[in-house]
Amino acid sequence: MSKKDPLTREQVRDINAWWRAANYLSACQLYLLDNPLLREPLRPEHLKRSIVGHWGTCPGQNFIYTHLNRAIVKYDLDMIYISGPGHGGNAIVAQDYLDGSYSEIYPNISQDTEGMKKLFKQFSFPGGIPSTASPETPGSINDGGELGYSLAHAFGAVMDNPDLIAACVVGDGEAETGPLATSWHSNKFLNPITDGAVLPILHLNGFKISNPSVFSRLTREETEMFFKGCGWEPRFVEGDDPEQMHQKMAAAMDWAIREIQRIQEYARSSGSVERPRWPMIVFRSPKGWTGPAEVDGKPSEGCWRSHQIPIPVWDGKPGRVEELETWLRSYHPEELFDQQGALIPRLQELAPKGDRRMGANPHANGGLLLRDLRTPDFREYGVAVPQPGAVEAQDTQVLGGYVRDLIKRNLKSRNFRVFGPDVTSSNQLSAMLQATGRRWTDQPEEEMNNHLDQDGRVMDAMLSEHMCQGWLEGYLLTGRHGFFTCYEAFTRIVDSMVAQHAKWLKVCRQLPWRQKIASLNYVLSSNVWQQDHNGYTHQDPGFLDHVANKKADVVRLYLPPDANCLLSCFDHCIKSRNYINVIVASKHPRPQWLTMDQAVKHCTQGIGIWQWASNDRGVEPDVIMACCGDTPTLETLAAVTILHHYLPQLKIRVVNVVDLMKLQPHTEHPHGLTDEDYDAIFTKDKPIIFAFHGYPTLVHELTYRRHNKNLHVRGYKEEGTITTPFDMRVQNDIDRFDLVIDTVMRLPQLGNSAAYLIQEMKDKLIEHHQYITTYGQDMPEIRNWAWNEGKGIYLD
Amino acid sequence: MSKKDPLTREQVRDINAWWRAANYLSACQLYLLDNPLLREPLRPEHLKRSIVGHWGTCPGQNFIYTHLNRAIVKYDLDMIYISGPGHGGNAIVAQDYLDGSYSEIYPNISQDTEGMKKLFKQFSFPGGIPSTASPETPGSINDGGELGYSLAHAFGAVMDNPDLIAACVVGDGEAETGPLATSWHSNKFLNPITDGAVLPILHLNGFKISNPSVFSRLTREETEMFFKGCGWEPRFVEGDDPEQMHQKMAAAMDWAIREIQRIQEYARSSGSVERPRWPMIVFRSPKGWTGPAEVDGKPSEGCWRSHQIPIPVWDGKPGRVEELETWLRSYHPEELFDQQGALIPRLQELAPKGDRRMGANPHANGGLLLRDLRTPDFREYGVAVPQPGAVEAQDTQVLGGYVRDLIKRNLKSRNFRVFGPDVTSSNQLSAMLQATGRRWTDQPEEEMNNHLDQDGRVMDAMLSEHMCQGWLEGYLLTGRHGFFTCYEAFTRIVDSMVAQHAKWLKVCRQLPWRQKIASLNYVLSSNVWQQDHNGYTHQDPGFLDHVANKKADVVRLYLPPDANCLLSCFDHCIKSRNYINVIVASKHPRPQWLTMDQAVKHCTQGIGIWQWASNDRGVEPDVIMACCGDTPTLETLAAVTILHHYLPQLKIRVVNVVDLMKLQPHTEHPHGLTDEDYDAIFTKDKPIIFAFHGYPTLVHELTYRRHNKNLHVRGYKEEGTITTPFDMRVQNDIDRFDLVIDTVMRLPQLGNSAAYLIQEMKDKLIEHHQYITTYGQDMPEIRNWAWNEGKGIYLD
């Protein structure tokens, strides 16, 4: 110990004792059913029969956590802990247990011998808790079961939380994932005045499951250059001697906290947002540190072999229990816990108090902090629709006006942001930029500055769906609001992230102490049905299918057919809690169908018969023409117009679906119609021609239990690329002409008049094909048909 | 021009003329229907009515491509071009047209005025070609419509191609994506002796759609440190003066090629594989370079405004056509093309010849180079199964033996690799490591070296599903073989990449000149039904649903119920072409059901009645017990055992499905059963209790057209986390006891005996629940039930 060392001998002793306690609890969670404090010799019956979980990451994370605690106390920090490496759940739980935050939430897991026994048993045990930093873990907002999102979550958490520091441990395995790799650049979008700070700690554990990690095998010079290139100032803490490492870590931590404070104080006093070089720590320690050095004569500590269970107690080899006991006793639990099993007072004093404990920090249970948004009256943004189809509008453009004012009203409360991968303009939501700018700390020369703003609410300056998703998740999980606007096809890039968030929400609903958070909302546009500058690669409506498979009490899917319906749906979603809401919307000029009053009613019901387009009043229809999505609605109404014209005696019922889950039985989804209500709309046996926005199979999947099996769904079938909007529909058989053909083919009673109409429709298709291959655009009459030719039927 | 400049005045003139020609062709593709060489004044009727496409990226890519051509000729290089930025299709097509490779493949697009007119018309036009480097583009293996995969594709392409250089242009927007961000580390896995080289060229265009790019706003020092940290040696080419830029680019290109040659020569003569510092180029040029400097008084060239269409000719403002004409004429097409419309001979001479042209390089049409694998006889690796359920084996472990020998037999031909995110051992495929090692150029100290090998065939050392997928795609697209082994849940991370590959294959099938490539094969294990060390986050069987939505002629889904079936399926897949084959397999000790002969027959049929488990011979059954996947098969057979025991009079038919697409009608999928065959197996109305590996909706989606609607599917419903294998099944109602309950409830004729059996089963469930919450593992008899209690029925 030298004079320059930041810690006294006593501090080292105590900090090391806390670390030993945390490591002891982490190891025992893997193995023990009983004899929690080793008050008697360890015997096989004290052990779980099935030993599952991970050890390798725990001691390093415990080391970091312990030193963060010291910094919290020393500097009175508001800090949360994000565990990136995955499967370190037993370490975080151990820390929560030591500082008391665990027992406050789970009184059965008390801070005594009995509670400790339960603590050990529940880990990776039926009815217990997972091995990750799962929702059950106090203080966690990042499960880590799927790797790669810790840093994005950390940045989301500190946005608009100027006093918060998110300490984010990045695993060196995790650091190899794509999403994590690009997360380092998030620092370009952090405002040191109005946002908090992220303190990344790269945990160089050396190994993954079986392989070394990439970052652990870079040269130190490369590592330093890499992080400096990403705009960080790294400091290295490396070694395996605990005493030296405590001193080094304390010094690095003091430096990092002071750097953060210096940067923030400078920015906040000077008003300058010039991008600072934020501190970070590179922490290299042996994997499975303090675990058995060798097992069966092969290295365990410091090696990939310590990844999961270092000592396989049930492999039948003699002496295993003794080996385990030696390891566990090496932490000297008798020095750490008193007779009742409580942490000794000297160590208790080390912990931060109350909400300062990372397991009790309210930011990590964001619902506690969630405040309602101030919302404008969405009805005031509606499009006047004198009669169905009489006017055109661009749905997302209309929504943009509402969002603009939503942003304005919540500028002061700083709890609402919009996220997207540079598609604000493309998705026609630019009106937002009248109220705020695009977040970027660096400012380009003025004439190149397209609404960049150092304090903007629109996070659309990074071309990464992963970042948008991760930031937004972090923002929501810490008690704020927002939505993600994306090209529909490219939400697939974050399929797995969305699935993980759905899992998180599902578990949270079962935990009464987890307060509800704002819903994860999507506004997806630039959808499959009109591509313009893009093509086949930009066509994928399957995000709906993906989300539909998730737990029914978490997911909601909306396909508003026009601007007024979009406003109504969006307003509903943005006020909701604990859901994943997917809205698929149109951005192109399209006829508008419903007045605002009608739209509100329609969206509230979620599904409805459009009487004004139907001619089956008072009788059972011959056919149901159903539609869901803006383009299918347009084509269905055009087809109905044609049918009314040619076959006025045919009784057609037009059904529009906004809330897709209405199709599922109410026993499967809370929004689902009862069979009675479904049959009242769709009949039990009349043909249903269903034009759907996405893959047809999704409608079949949702309706397979329904009585009416006479269902014929048209939707996207992976056809069409660069072509006209109408030709996209033709290539997927969802255009008006094909819908008419499809309909009359299901009605044998029509006889010759069907054959005539089919020929007419085929002629139209040929005529159109000739036109587009000559001129490259749709025949003008195609666009207008629905409401010019057929306006007679659009009486309300 | 200084003495040090690498190019003579004439060379600059000619290279610049080629670049002008390429830019001219790129711009005209956006706009022109006629008057291709501007032989007459431009008039509105010469223009497309709908102007769609992208300009911004084209001139920079044309500049790079032109200089690559020069290097190919100078150094006689075998080089392919990978266009990362997306939407630069018109540039690549222009280059292909100039060097003649386009007209060779598409004779109608001839190198004369008539052909040029067609070239312009077809771009982004109905029936024409997309705006990306789509499969229709000669020389492309990377569409770029979805951003982020160029560098991974480039690395996959050069693996085992020691003489190949993949020049990979990375867009600065693309560089912000997660997958691209981690791709820079691929250099750690490239062997300079046995692999080729990737030459990355980061294209700093400055802007994305509306925002600046992150990399364009790093300081030069940061950029340099970033790439050095990633192990590259960057050289900068920056500016906007064409003449200077030609000199700088030629110098940088000469340096890069000589560096590659120096590195390779050193490694190949010394035998040393120590990781070299490969060269790369950072190329900063104005976005939309040489386009209109300003439009409507606002900057266009060098700005985000040049991203798509610089001059909106149809916006109604006067003078637009003249503005466009001025721009197009600035390239002086009359100097570049002769009277017939052919490139003038002086410029023709600049192009590489024959296969050296990047549009004609056979590596970019990999099927041309594809050779069959030498395969062992998979039957020799089979498990001896004296009677169904009599022995246990770990399916993927058995497969590992076959793959080991497959690797051995193809070591010399160097055309087979295995890819995975560090799960070789976890997925029980370690036997492979007896034949080869894990690829890593750096070698750790020996005792820490877990099969690392500088020339290994197993690419599992990087924890990134994106890299595994991208590398494998690049490897397959250039005419080699491989498969991807992954945790089932985490294939969702690459959902969108798989979708893009499916789109690529679908289009290739329509292009006769695109030779068939080896299938993209998945071996997914560590699946939802047994988690052990993991939990809820590791449960997602939805990759099957995702792939099932893709074009039927591209996708195949296999769920072999035992090791012999797995061998048979794998052998089939690894020999197939142009498919995406998904195999979901078990890795845990499980009873084996079929002899090798039976397995081959069963897998060939894809679906079959298991007579040895059924008792309906000669009569119509009372109930069909269907199963698909290893765990559902085990539980179904156990349930059948119980039913036979308690209700021997009940006629049960057991159906096992290996090839999931058999369930679809043959009109929807080439593997689908006819209705007649389906009804022969499933009857038209008897209850079907279907135990399915994945989400139940997938079975409903595939079977909704079938006659028999009396279908009851059990599968994963997002329940269960850390718990025992059997409890996972219980929580999702797919266990034997729940299946028995489910079955007898569908059979009202059973009366009281059903009630009795239901009570028995419920008692069993309670008994099991008590056992696992006490001991943390399944009752021993659960595991053995299927074949001990019920062995009487497992007669073949």
User: Could you tell me if residue B202 is inside a domain?
Assistant: yes
Find out whether B673 and B666 touch, Cβ atoms under 8 Å: yes
Q: Summarize the confidence of residues A735-742 as an average pLDDT.
A: 96
B495 vs chain A: nearest CA distance in angstroms?
6
| Dist. CA B357–CA B460, nearest whole Å | 34
DSSP string computed for B50-109: S-----TTHHHHHHHHHHHHHHHHHHT-EEEEEE-SSS-HHHHHHHHHHTTHHHHH-TTS
| Dist. CA A728–CA A735, nearest whole Å | 8
Domain span at residue A568 reads 378-590
Q: How many Å separate Cα B521 from the centre of its chain?
A: 9
3-state DSSP assignment of residue B303? coil
| Dist. CA B484–CA B524, nearest whole Å | 8
| Dist. CA B396–CA B384, nearest whole Å | 16
**Within an 8 Å CB–CB cutoff, is residue A33 touching chain B?**
yes
| Contact across the interface for B492 and A499, Cβ inside 8 Å | yes
The percent of residues in chain B predicted with pLDDT above 70, rounded, is 98
Residue B793 has pLDDT above 60, yes or no: no
Q: Summarize the confidence of residues A184-211 as an average pLDDT.
A: 96
| Contact across the interface for A535 and B131, Cβ inside 8 Å | yes
**Within an 8 Å CB–CB cutoff, is residue A500 touching chain B?**
yes
Does one domain contain both A326 and A449? no
**Max CA-CA distance within chain A?**
102
Q: Is A50 exposed, middle or buried (0-12, 13-18, 19+ CB in 10 A)?
A: middle
* pLDDT tens by residue, B315-346: 999 999 999 999 999 999 999 999 999 999 99
Q: What are phi and psi of A524, to 5 degrees?
A: -100, 125
Q: Per residue in A720-731, is it b (16+ CB within 10 Å) or e — as a string?
A: bbbbbbbbbbbb
Find out whether B651 and B622 touch, Cβ atoms under 8 Å: yes
Q: What is the average pLDDT value for chain B, to the nearest integer?
A: 95
Pick from B54, B218, B423: CB nearest A533: B54
B632 vs chain A: nearest CA distance in angstroms?
19
State how many domains chain B has: 3
Distances in whole angstroms, Cα of residue A634 to Cα of each of A638, A650, A687, B635: 6, 20, 20, 48
- With cut-offs at 50, 70 and 90, classify the pLDDT of residue B27: very high
Write down which residue in B537, B556, B590 finishes a domain.
Answer: B590
The reported pLDDT for the residue numbered A796 is 29
Does one domain contain both B462 and B337? no
Does one domain contain both A326 and A350? yes
**Within an 8 Å CB–CB cutoff, is residue B526 touching chain A?**
no
Distances in whole angstroms, Cα of residue A544 to Cα of each of A532, A549, A702: 22, 9, 12
User: Could you tell me if residue A341 is inside a domain?
Assistant: yes
Half-sphere exposure for A207 (CA within 13 Å, toward CB)? 24
Residue B429 has pLDDT above 90, yes or no: yes
Residues 6 or more apart in contact with residue A6 via CB below 8 angstroms: A247, A250, A251, A254
For β-strands B555-558 and B580-584, DSSP reports them as: parallel
Place of tokens 């999507």: A522
Q: Summarize the confidence of residues A668-679 as an average pLDDT.
A: 96
Mutation target to probe the B interface, by most B beta carbons within 10 A, among A722, A731, A774, A775 is A722
Distances in whole angstroms, Cα of residue A206 to Cα of each of A305, A775, B82: 11, 62, 34
- With cut-offs at 50, 70 and 90, classify the pLDDT of residue A446: confident
Residues 6 or more apart in contact with residue B192 via CB below 8 angstroms: B263, B264, B266, B267, B268, B273, B276
| Contact across the interface for A218 and B209, Cβ inside 8 Å | no
- Cα angle for residues B129, B133, B134 (degrees, 5° grid): 55
Q: Strand locations in B277-336, DSSP E?
A: 278-284, 294-295, 298-299
Q: What is the average pLDDT value for chain A, to the nearest integer?
A: 95
- With cut-offs at 50, 70 and 90, classify the pLDDT of residue B656: very high
**Max CA-CA distance within chain B?**
102
Does one domain contain both A201 and A292? yes
| Contact across the interface for A545 and B545, Cβ inside 8 Å | yes
Q: Which two tokens stand for residue B650?
A: 């009940």
User: Could you tell me if residue B369 is inside a domain?
Assistant: no
- With cut-offs at 50, 70 and 90, classify the pLDDT of residue B530: confident
Find out whether B480 and B366 touch, Cβ atoms under 8 Å: yes
Closest chain A residue by Cα to residue B507:
A536
Does one domain contain both A581 and A614? no
| Contact across the interface for B773 and A127, Cβ inside 8 Å | yes
| Contact across the interface for B177 and A775, Cβ inside 8 Å | no
* pLDDT tens by residue, B181-192: 999 999 999 999
Residue A526 has pLDDT above 50, yes or no: yes
DSSP state letter for A174 = G
| Contact across the interface for B533 and A308, Cβ inside 8 Å | yes
User: Could you tell me if residue A1 is inside a domain?
Assistant: no
| Strand ranges of the sheet holding B607-609, from the earlier edge strand across to the other edge | B607-609, B652-657, B623-628, B688-692, B711-714
**Within an 8 Å CB–CB cutoff, is residue B697 touching chain A?**
yes
Q: What is the ipTM of this complex?
A: 0.97
Amino acid at B87: H
Residue A626 has pLDDT above 60, yes or no: yes
DSSP string computed for B336-363: HB-TTSPBPHHHHTTS--GGGSTTT-GG
Q: Summarize the confidence of residues A242-254 as an average pLDDT.
A: 98
* pLDDT tens by residue, B229-241: 999 999 999 999 9
DSSP state letter for B651 = -
**Within an 8 Å CB–CB cutoff, is residue B552 touching chain A?**
no
Q: How many Å separate Cα A722 from the centre of its chain?
A: 31
**Within an 8 Å CB–CB cutoff, is residue B444 touching chain A?**
yes
Residue B684 has pLDDT above 50, yes or no: yes
B539 vs chain A: nearest CA distance in angstroms?
10
Half-sphere exposure for A779 (CA within 13 Å, toward CB)? 11
Q: Summarize the confidence of residues A736-745 as an average pLDDT.
A: 96
Q: Which of A473-487, B257-271, B528-542, B731-745 has the lowest mean pLDDT?
A: B528-542
The CATH number of the domain where B473 resides is what?
Answer: 3.40.50.970
| Dist. CA B721–CA B708, nearest whole Å | 34
Q: Summarize the confidence of residues B220-236 as an average pLDDT.
A: 98
Residues 131-150 of A with CB under 8 A from B: 131-132, 134, 143, 145-148
| Contact across the interface for B535 and A145, Cβ inside 8 Å | yes
Residue A790 has pLDDT above 70, yes or no: no
Instruction: Answer whether 0.95 is exceeded by the pTM.
Output: yes
| Contact across the interface for A536 and B134, Cβ inside 8 Å | yes
| Dist. CA A303–CA A287, nearest whole Å | 6
Closest chain A residue by Cα to residue B726:
A126
DSSP string computed for A99-123: HTHHHHH-TTS-SSHHHHHHHHHHB
| Contact across the interface for B178 and A182, Cβ inside 8 Å | yes
Find out whether B464 and B182 touch, Cβ atoms under 8 Å: yes
DSSP string computed for B619-633: S--SEEEEEESHHHH
**Within an 8 Å CB–CB cutoff, is residue A152 touching chain B?**
no
| Dist. CA A21–CA A94, nearest whole Å | 8
B693 vs chain A: nearest CA distance in angstroms?
14
CB atoms within 10 A of CB B241: 9
Write down which residue in B363, B393, B410 finishes a domain.
Answer: B363
Place of tokens 């990759």: B543
Pick from A214, A223, A704: CB nearest B188: A214
Q: Which two tokens stand for residue A628?
A: 């869901």
**Within an 8 Å CB–CB cutoff, is residue A418 touching chain B?**
no
CB atoms within 10 A of CB B127: 14
Q: Summarize the confidence of residues A187-200 as an average pLDDT.
A: 98
Q: Report chain A residues whose CB lies below 8 A from the CB of B49.
A: 775-777
Q: Summarize the confidence of residues B435-451 as an average pLDDT.
A: 85
The reported pLDDT for the residue numbered B785 is 60
Residue B795 has pLDDT above 80, yes or no: no
Distances in whole angstroms, Cα of residue A207 to Cα of each of A65, A101, B452, B461, B767: 20, 31, 13, 10, 42
Does one domain contain both B278 and B400? no
| Contact across the interface for A229 and B226, Cβ inside 8 Å | yes
The CATH number of the domain where B772 resides is what?
Answer: 3.40.50.920
Count contacts between A and B (CB, < 8 Å).
373
| Contact across the interface for B211 and A772, Cβ inside 8 Å | no
Write down which residue in B557, B590, B623 finishes a domain.
Answer: B590
| Dist. CA A598–CA A162, nearest whole Å | 44
The reported pLDDT for the residue numbered A293 is 96
The reported pLDDT for the residue numbered A793 is 43
User: Could you tell me if residue A597 is inside a domain?
Assistant: no
Does one domain contain both B679 and B633? yes
3-state DSSP assignment of residue A439? strand
A13 vs chain B: nearest CA distance in angstroms?
32
User: Could you tell me if residue B672 is inside a domain?
Assistant: yes
| Dist. CA A102–CA A25, nearest whole Å | 13
Mutation target to probe the A interface, by most A beta carbons within 10 A, among B45, B184, B282, B536 is B536
Does one domain contain both A755 and A638? yes
Distances in whole angstroms, Cα of residue A167 to Cα of each of A23, A61, A63, B772: 20, 11, 13, 38
User: Could you tell me if residue A595 is inside a domain?
Assistant: no
The reported pLDDT for the residue numbered A257 is 98
Does one domain contain both A565 and A666? no
| Dist. CA A482–CA A473, nearest whole Å | 9
Q: Report chain B residues whose CB lies below 8 A from the CB of A308.
A: 533
Distances in whole angstroms, Cα of residue B81 to Cα of each of B106, B178, B196, B362: 20, 22, 14, 12
Find out whether A77 and A156 touch, Cβ atoms under 8 Å: no
Give Rg (Cα) of chain B: 30
The reported pLDDT for the residue numbered B790 is 45
Q: Is A749 exposed, middle or buried (0-12, 13-18, 19+ CB in 10 A)?
A: exposed
3-state DSSP assignment of residue B443? coil
Helix A9-31 and helix A320-329, axial crossing angle in degrees, nearest 10: 150
Please tell me which residue, A788 or B85, carries the higher pLDDT value. Answer: B85
Does one domain contain both B404 and B304? no
| Dist. CA B195–CA B69, nearest whole Å | 22
Does one domain contain both A511 and A622? no
Pick from B426, B533, B542: CB nearest A131: B533
**Within an 8 Å CB–CB cutoff, is residue B277 touching chain A?**
no
The secondary element (H helix, E strand) that includes residue B406 is helix B395-409
Does one domain contain both A13 and A116? yes
3-state DSSP helix/strand/coil % of chain B, to nearest 5: 45, 15, 40
| Contact across the interface for A549 and B225, Cβ inside 8 Å | no
- With cut-offs at 50, 70 and 90, classify the pLDDT of residue B781: confident
Q: Is A529 exposed, middle or buried (0-12, 13-18, 19+ CB in 10 A)?
A: buried
User: Could you tell me if residue A3 is inside a domain?
Assistant: no
| Contact across the interface for A700 and B701, Cβ inside 8 Å | yes
Q: Summarize the confidence of residues A687-698 as an average pLDDT.
A: 97
The strand pairing partners of B281, in sequence order, are B201, B235
